[in-house]
Amino acid sequence: MHKVVARLADGRVVKGFTIDFFPDKPLFHINVDAAPKAAKPEELRTADLKALYFVKDFAGNPEHDERREFDQSQRPIGRKIRVVFKDGEEMVGTTQGYQLGRPGFFLVPADPASNTDRCYVVSGQAKSIAFI
């Protein structure tokens, strides 16, 4: 099970656990964290996402200022990339899967203290995507 926060293009946020997210599949399910144990998982369409964040915990640290620079003492795995979403959110990290024309890709944040372990970015929800 993966602990995830789904941010949808319409602004909704769904927090919970998933075992069936695959970028090439149109649907996946989230067992919503705050739902009763007997509740059915929420079905989400991959096309409706802005991004799917694989997180360490649901609360995060609102005081944490996300670092958008790489540790110069460590060589990053993958290509450095900056994403600016249509809603203004900016992420900097690395990717091994971004390719123009593909519906999305995974990004690992540059900040090792980030609450996000990795993020699936829906390319169509980005205002700009650039290798850095």
Give residue 126's domain range: 2-58+67-131
* Model pLDDT, residue 21: 98
Burial environment of residue 87 by CB neighbours within 10 A (0 to 12, 13 to 18, 19 or more): exposed
| Whether pLDDT at 70 is above 90 | no
For the segment 72-106, what is each residue's pLDDT rounded down to a tens digit? 878 888 999 999 999 999 999 999 999 999 999 99
- How does pLDDT run across 78-87, given as a tens digit for each residue? 999 999 999 9
Judge whether residue 30 has pLDDT over 90. Answer: yes
Query: The pTM is what?
Result: 0.94
How much is the pLDDT for 28?
98
pLDDT at 18: 98
CB hemisphere CA count around 79 (13 angstroms): 13
Answer whether 121's CB lies under 8 Å from 52's CB: no
Query: Within 13 Å of residue 50, how many CA atoms lie on the same side as its CB?
Result: 21
Total number of domains constituting the chain: 1
Quick check: 65 pLDDT over 90?
A: no
